[in-house]
Each structure stands twice: as structure tokens, then as C-alpha cells.
Structure 1
Amino acid sequence: MLMRSAFHLASTRGGNARLSIFVFHRVLPTPDPLFPAEVDVAAFDRMLGWICRWFRVVPLAEAIDQMRRGDLPARAAAITFDDGYADNLTHALPILQRHGASATLFVATGFLDGGRMWNDTVIESVRRTPLAQLDLSAIGLGVIATGTIAEKRQAIDYLIPRTKHLPPDSRQAQVAAIANASQAMLPDDLMMRSDQLQAWHRAGMGVGAHTVTHPILATTELDSARQEMADSKTQLEALLGERIGLFAYPNGKPEQDYRSEHARLAAELGFDAAVATVWGVAKRDSDVFQLPRFTPWDRTKYRFGLRLLQNLLSS
């Protein structure tokens, strides 16, 4: 009750209300030795229980409408997932339903039906390689040890930052070279199939656009960025049979991953709002095309609550 009272004082209702938007990605069935901090079903169940006890969880589109009108409830929060992982349906959805909570899934449409995110190609190449080291000298990344869990983790931490912000074509070429060098059998079931996304939507959950191939928009030609944003919207509308009004910027850091011109694009393309990944809370005077979100990660109730309260009071 003490924590809930603190959130109530920090986020009153009406015109001065604050909206906390949480962002998650995967919900794994069991802990991942390579990524022990990644959210699994047990951790997500605990986190969602705390969130639902302390906040009033509202569908994101509804919360944004309420915020614009000035009648957002006290302790308002929305839950989002990025990318379109299949485990959002198989593992996260039952937990959401059990807690009576809603969530919005931002989908990179190019990876539906057997596709794979570029970062997952890198991760799974390192995870599944039968080799004790990867020779990536041909692409200027040297020879990287991959024989142990610790070495695999170091290899991933080395490769992801050196790949993320490359121009799309260069990034794709580098990822393909890493995959080829690994000699690994890579999975094709990490992302949702179209029928799984439809099942998510039929369950009453929200869906938003997240581009087609998840490029870093700041490193993408503006016309290509427009196409990525527009095509993801139209593809989802065709698949789900309803208008898509929300957009999430890939990676989502302002000026680093997207710029103000991409926020203007979102408005021009007919989106109602767009979300980033900068910490903070949304308020009535916030730019609805650059709404902040943040990821809570602490695993104990006390620290988790303090992290949420710190974010709520940050702006």
C-alpha cells in the first residue's frame, strides 16, 4: 500500500497526470545462460504483478487518447513489446490475461512467417556455432573465441555494437558473413507467424508498426525510411483488417537512432502517435510522436518499485 500511495501522489489524474509506458521484448520459457538478465516467464509474472498492483494498466492507444483529452487516470501505465517475437504470444499473453492486463506489440513486419532479426542472427550464430572460434578477418573483425559460454557472451557483446549502426545494406552483408562463418543451423521460429499475430489481436491486444526490416532510421536514406514506416503500416492493416495508429522507432534513442524528421514522417504517414526508448513519462504537453518508454529490470520488489518511481518523477 505504501508503494501504491507513492505512485498515486506522483501521478494524479486529469490534466497533470503522467503516463508510464513500459517496453519489453522477449519473454523466455526459462533463463538463458547467455543472457541471464533476459526476462523469462517467472520474472515477467512477478514484474507484471507488481505493475498491476501499483498502476492502472490501460491499452496504449486508449491511454494516449485520454492523455490528449486531459482525463488520464491516476497511476496510468501501458505495456508494450517490440519486434514481434513468437514468445510474446506463447508465453507473455497467458500471463497478461491472468493479470487482466493489456499490451501493445510493435511489429517489424519483414520478419513475420520465418524471418529473423539481424541481431538474433548474430546471437544465434554465436550460440549455435560448433566452432571454438569464428574467423571474421575477411570483414575486419578478427578471430573471435566462441568455445565457452563466457566467450560466446563476449563475442556477442563485441559484434552487436559493431553491426547495429551500419547502413542497412552494409549491416545485412556483415550479418550474413557472421552467419556463414559460424556454420550454425539457425532457427526460423523466433518471430511470429501471421496467424499468431492475428491470434494476439483477437485476444484484444494492441498492434503497432515498427518498420519492415528494423533499420536504424538515422542511418537510412529518408525516402527509404518513409517506405519502411509506410509499408509496415499498410502490411499490418491488410493482415489485421483495421487501421494501425501507433509506431515505434527501431532502437528508439532520439538523435542517435531516429531524428526529428522521422517524427514528422510518422505524422505525415497518418500515425496518431509514436514511441521512443528514452526514459521518462508522457504528459499532456508531450510530443505524441516522441513519447518516452523505459524498461524496468530490477528483480526484487523494493528495487523494482523504486526504479519505477524514479522514472515517474524524472520529468
Structure 2
Amino acid sequence: MSRFDNSSAGAALLEKSLLSLFSPGGKRGLSILIYHRVLPQKDPLFPGEVDRQEFSSQMALLKSRFNVLPLAEAVQRAKRGSLPARAAAITFDDGYADNADVALPVLREHGLHATFFVASGFLDGGRMWNDSVIELVRRAPAGVLDASTLGLGTHALQSLADRQRAIPALIGQLKYLPMAERLEQVDRLAQLAGCTLPDNLMMRSSQVKALHAAGMGIGAHTVNHPILARLSDTQAREEIAQGKLALEDLIGEKVTLFAYPNGKPGEDYLPQHVAMARELRFEGAVSTSWGASRGTPDPFQLPRFTPWDRNRLRFVLRLAHNLTVPAGRA
């Protein structure tokens, strides 16, 4: 049993007291959790990434301390001012295959609903650029990855720690390049590393359909997951609109929720992108700004947060603290 599973009667009382203190009955905040991946077991490169056991424990705790709602329902109830105390919703970004293979069975086991924001362009064998960097660093032979000809420096790959340092160093240099240039650089980097990259990280269309058939929410997340603020308005609108249409064609139903890629207000998305989401007839959109929505929130800039703590009490403390954070907006 992990540290996360341990909860004595005294600890349970403390958890309830903390959440009641930060979210008294008169305040109707909505806490929206973000996940990306749920791994079947620990990844040595990313030991902090949540695995199935931890995710199951987190879901059990969330269910026992919060009123967990489907996000679409929570958005409508927030508009009406009828959220229950300590309302929460669960979301996933990007469309990783383990969302269907690992997370879905856990959610069903606990009787919980989640909304999955899918970047449609990576379905059926695609791969996000940052995952290409991660996987090429993982698979590259031991030694030195010399990417100086690309302007990306040299990176030791002798040890696990070397690889853990190389990944954020490379991603940090590539992240805000124009999309076409970034993809070209990543392709060249993969050639330098001399390794074959996986094509099964993201969901297949059949897995998106399976999530929908299981009653889960499917939300749009653009086609190619660009940083909208770095695109022209025409390009940004096309990314948002085409991602929505692709998913609607896939599941045979309207897609009413949207997640801004990267999601930092004023940095990754701007007021015009909020307007686009409204014009394209979404009913709500989520950012990655921390906080819990209060009162009558802007349904097109709903804040979310990532609960990364692996210690149960710290996890609860972060949930409680998030209830006090004012939401950022573009």
C-alpha cells in the first residue's frame, strides 16, 4: 500500500476540516483537475507521473471529499449558480492512449466521470512533438547527443539523470518556435539520435469512441495543439474549428467544451481566442490557470489545476489551497 492510501480516522477528520475551512457551505467553488497520462506502472524517467495505483487512490479520495460532476453539467450549474458545495470535475488533456486503457477502467470502478480533451490531429498513430523529444532521449544510445548544428547544444546521455536533464533542456528551447520550424527541428533531432520512435502513444479513433460510449465527455483541443497566441487569427480559428468538427464526425454528437492548448491566460491564449470559442458555439472552455471558479464564472475561462502531490495530506492541502486562488483570465 502506498503512502497515499493510508488514512486514519484522525487524518480523515483533518482532511474534512481543511476542505470545510477553505470552502465553507456558502461558497460554491468549482475545482477542475487536469491529468494528462495515467501510466500502468512507474516510468523511471518521470517518477512523479501518476500511475494506475495512485490515480485510483486519488479518485477514491476525491469522491469521498468532493461532489464530482461531469464538466458539462458543472458548467451549466455554475451558470445557474446551483453548484453543490465542493464541486469538482476531472479532465484529461491531449488524447493519450493510456487514458482509455488505464484511466477509464479506474474511473468506471469508482463510478466517476471525466472529460477528455483530444487534439484530433494525433489520433491513429500521431505523436506530439514533446513526446518525440522524450522518446528520442529515452531511446538514444548512451553517450552525447550533439545537437549543436541545430542550435540546441550538446547533451550528455550517460545516466538516467542525464536524460532527465536533457529532456526539459531540449523542450524549453523548442517550445515557442513557430510550429512548422519546431516540427522540422524535432525531426532533425530524431535523425541525430538515430532511433525509432513509437506510434502508439496517442489514442486511436476507436478508443475515443469507446470513451464516448462509456459515458465520458469528449472535448476539443485543436488539431495540432499549437500555442494559439503564436498563430494568426485565421490559423487559430481554423485549428479550433477543425478540431471540433473532426471529433463531432467521430462520435456523432456535438462537442461543447474546449481546452486552450498549454492554457496560460494572456500568454498561450488571448481574448480573441476566447471570442472564437464563443463564436464556434462551444458552451465552455478551460485554461490551465490555477484556482476554483466562484460566483458566476466566465464559462470560457474556467481555471484548472494539476494535483501532483504523492502524499495524501499534501494532496488534500493542495486541493484546499486551490479553493482560495483567484482565477486568472486573458
Match of residue 316 from structure 2: 305
Calculate the TM-score normalised by the size of structure 1. 0.96
Match of residue 102 from structure 1: 113
1:112 aligns with 2:123: yes
CA–CA distance in structure 2, aligned partners of residues 268 and 253 of structure 1: 21
* Secondary structure of the corresponding residue to residue 285 of structure 2: strand
Per-residue deviation, 1:13: 6.2
Per-residue deviation, 1:45: 1.1
1:83 aligns with 2:94: yes
What are the ranges of 5 or more consecutive residues in structure 1 without an aligned counterpart?
none
Per-residue deviation, 1:147: 2.2
CA–CA distance in structure 1, aligned partners of residues 240 and 315 of structure 2: 34
Per-residue deviation, 1:7: 2.7
Letter in 1 for 2:140: T
Divergent runs of 4+, >4 A: none
CA–CA distance in structure 2, aligned partners of residues 62 and 258 of structure 1: 25
Alignment of 1:291-302 (within 5 A): 291-302=302-313
Letter in 2 for 1:156: I
Per-residue deviation, 1:268: 1.0
CA–CA distance in structure 2, aligned partners of residues 10 and 144 of structure 1: 45
What are the ranges of 5 or more consecutive residues in structure 2 without an aligned counterpart?
1-11
Deviations 1:162-182 (A, max 9, x none): 111111111111111111111
Greater shift in the superposed pair: 228-237 or 284-293: 284-293
- Say if 1:24 and 1:295, in contact at 8 Å, map to a contact too: yes
Which residue among 198, 211, 219 is the counterpart of 1:208?
219
Per-residue deviation, 1:283: 2.2
Deviations 1:54-105 (A, max 9, x none): 1011000001101111111111100000000010111111111111110000
CA–CA distance in structure 2, aligned partners of residues 205 and 12 of structure 1: 30
- Say if 2:32 and 2:89, in contact at 8 Å, map to a contact too: yes
1:32 aligns with 2:38: no
1:7 aligns with 2:19: yes
Letter in 2 for 1:200: L
Match of residue 171 from structure 2: 160
CA–CA distance in structure 2, aligned partners of residues 64 and 8 of structure 1: 22
CA–CA distance in structure 2, aligned partners of residues 314 and 157 of structure 1: 27
* Secondary structure of the corresponding residue to residue 124 of structure 1: helix
Which residue among 57, 68, 75 is the counterpart of 1:46?
57
CA–CA distance in structure 1, aligned partners of residues 273 and 24 of structure 2: 32
* Secondary structure of the corresponding residue to residue 282 of structure 2: coil
Greater shift in the superposed pair: 144-153 or 21-30: 144-153
1:174 aligns with 2:206: no
Greater shift in the superposed pair: 102-111 or 215-224: 215-224
CA–CA distance in structure 1, aligned partners of residues 164 and 233 of structure 2: 34
1:230 aligns with 2:241: yes
CA–CA distance in structure 1, aligned partners of residues 20 and 88 of structure 2: 12
Deviations 1:238-272 (A, max 9, x none): 00000001000111111121111111111111111
Letter in 2 for 1:104: T
RMSD: 1.3
CA–CA distance in structure 1, aligned partners of residues 239 and 325 of structure 2: 32
Q: Percent same amino acid at aligned positions?
A: 54
- Say if 1:4 and 1:55, in contact at 8 Å, map to a contact too: no
